[in-house]
Amino acid sequence: MADDPFENMLAQMDRAEEYADVDHGIFERLKHPERTLKVTLPVELDSGDVEVFEGYRCQFDSARGPFKGGVRFHPTVSQREVEALAGWMTWKTALVDLPYGGAKGGVICEPKDLTQNDLESLTRRYTEGIRRMIGPETDVPAPDMNTNPQTMAWMMDTYSMYEGHSVPQVVTGKPLEIGGTPGRVEATGRGVSIVTERLFEYLDRDLSDATVAIQGFGNVGSNAARLLDESGARIVATSDVSGAAYDPDGLDVGALAAHVSAGGLIEEYVAGDLRASPDDRRAADGGTRWDDPDAIGNDELLTLDVDVLIPAAVEGVITADNVDDLRASAIVEAANGPTTVAADEVLTERDVQVVPDILANAGGVIVSYLEWVQNAQEFSWPLETVNAELERRIGTAFDQTIDQYDENGLPDLRTAAYTLALERTASAHEYRGLFP
């Protein structure tokens, strides 16, 4: 079960059903995606070879509005994973009360083995493959793992070529120059940082000088690290596929971000080849931090004795096998589906507060919604307006989840979040009725 994210999502729904005011018939219907398209994508690579890739787009539920969800490029993409991610998008958009349903897309590939040209060809071919399904009023893709504003620009351009005019609203997470919004790139990390602060307020604990370990230093992990570091928290460990860096006194998040955005791996950063020596850096900023970090493994990062653990990479990393070794007192799920249900039950028992993915990483889809609204208005907002609206919306969802948890004596925050999301989605189904 731990290996199958879709089974994990169904088990999360089952855990919440007993507390949710949802008709059982509608609940059963919510366990099935509306549709999934599988596409075969032959692409001529720069090498001259033709490689055949496989991609998917799952549209899970549209009772509350157009489908919405990212596109992932990763070797472990599968139909079940895409369907689970589409389900999680459905519960996320309902929990943060956006007028959307949930969807997800993915292509099985190893992006680091592909050139920019290869990625462009693959993205365009994938977009052609799913273009009859997507559209500003039907299904609006966005970035996810290994996809970024450039990927969205290629998707938008390909879709627009077929339509005969520019359709910026068909995707979100675009570059600013073609209808993107300020604040989208860092939105998910900003949301993670906001909910972590809110959690600490709720627990009556001080975030300044709290220790944080973050698995994954991509878009979400690096932005969450930067913003939490600015709030005074100490980022003691972070990682990528190559391994993890650990410094109990706190990592130099800015130096790490500069290293990674220049294409470096964390393993190389720890080895020290590519960064200034601690003495040089102390001389530069007069600080006492920035000792050389230690190399640790991704598994060890998860079990560090920290105040907050933030998984921000892939699903299924906190499982029955390692949950007993976890020592963090709170977990903020920046990744989608990082915790299996079996591990969740243990964490609930141990009173470890887990801010569930559908709340913790909702900042991205909130700002995607704000981008979509600006495109529809043909009007652009300043960064301050976007960030204020993000904070208001994710803060409201956090407060509603806490109220649901406290007032109804629910076992954990995930169950509280799921009951709200399931009730809202079920209510939309009830109003709309069954066609024909």
Asked if 312 interacts with ligand NAD (CB under 6 A), we say: yes
Contact between 88 and 357 (Cβ < 8 Å): yes
Residue 46 main-chain phi, psi, to 5 deg: -55, -30
Element (H, E) at 67: strand 67-74
| Count of residues interacting with ligand NAD (CB under 6 A) | 24
Quote the least distance from Cβ 22 to ligand NAD, whole Å. Answer: 25
Asked if 216 interacts with ligand NAD (CB under 6 A), we say: yes
Quote the least distance from Cβ 391 to ligand NAD, whole Å. Answer: 16
Distance CA 239, CA 19 (A): 37
User: Which residue among 66, 180, 182, 364 contacts ligand NAD (CB under 6 A)?
Assistant: 364
Q: Which pairs count as long-range contacts for 340-349, CB under 8 Å and 24+ apart, including other chains?
A: 340/1, 340/2, 340/8, 340/316, 341/1, 341/8, 341/11, 341/12, 341/15, 342/1, 342/2, 343/318, 343/319, 344/12, 344/15, 344/412, 344/414, 346/320, 347/318, 347/323, 347/412, 348/411, 348/412
* Alpha-carbon 118 to chain mean position: 25
Distance CA 73, CA 107 (A): 5
> Which residue among 38, 104, 112, 174 is the active-site one?
104
How many other C-beta atoms are found inside a 10 Å radius of the C-beta of residue 129?
20
| 308 vs 426, beta carbon nearer ligand NAD | 308
Distance CA 96, CA 98 (A): 6
Asked if 298 interacts with ligand NAD (CB under 6 A), we say: yes
| 213 vs 426, beta carbon nearer ligand NAD | 213
Asked if 371 interacts with ligand NAD (CB under 6 A), we say: no
Asked if 314 interacts with ligand NAD (CB under 6 A), we say: yes
Distance CA 310, CA 212 (A): 7
Nearest to 61 by CA among 84, 86, 98, 97: 86
Contact between 56 and 74 (Cβ < 8 Å): no
- Within residues 188-207, the interface with ligand NAD by CB under 6 A covers 188
Stretch that binds ligand NAD, among 118-126, 227-235, 334-342, 383-391 (CB under 6 A): 334-342
| 81 vs 120, beta carbon nearer ligand NAD | 81
| 341 vs 367, beta carbon nearer ligand NAD | 367
Quote the least distance from Cβ 335 to ligand NAD, whole Å. Answer: 3
Quote the least distance from Cβ 145 to ligand NAD, whole Å. Answer: 4
Stretch that binds ligand NAD, among 151-159, 227-235, 285-293, 306-314 (CB under 6 A): 306-314
- Sign of the alpha-carbon torsion through 412, 359, 60, 320: negative
- Within residues 119-158, the interface with ligand NAD by CB under 6 A covers 143-146
User: For the chain, how are helix, strand and coil distributed in percent, rounded to 5?
Assistant: 50, 15, 35
Quote the least distance from Cβ 282 to ligand NAD, whole Å. Answer: 27
Distance CA 249, CA 189 (A): 22
- The residue sitting closest to ligand NAD, measured at its beta carbon, is 218
104 catalytic residue (yes or no): yes
Asked if 374 interacts with ligand NAD (CB under 6 A), we say: no
User: Which residue among 102, 218, 250, 316 contacts ligand NAD (CB under 6 A)?
Assistant: 218
Kind of pairing between the strands at 211-215 and 139-143: unpaired
End-to-end Cα spacing for the chain: 36
| 144 vs 247, beta carbon nearer ligand NAD | 144
x/- mask, ligand NAD, residues 5-24, rule CB under 6 A, reads --------------------
Distance CA 151, CA 172 (A): 11
- Within residues 23-62, the interface with ligand NAD by CB under 6 A covers none
| 368 vs 410, beta carbon nearer ligand NAD | 368
Question: Which residues are marked as active site?
Answer: 104
Interface with ligand NAD (CB under 6 A)? 143-146, 188, 215-221, 239-241, 298, 312-314, 334-336, 361, 364
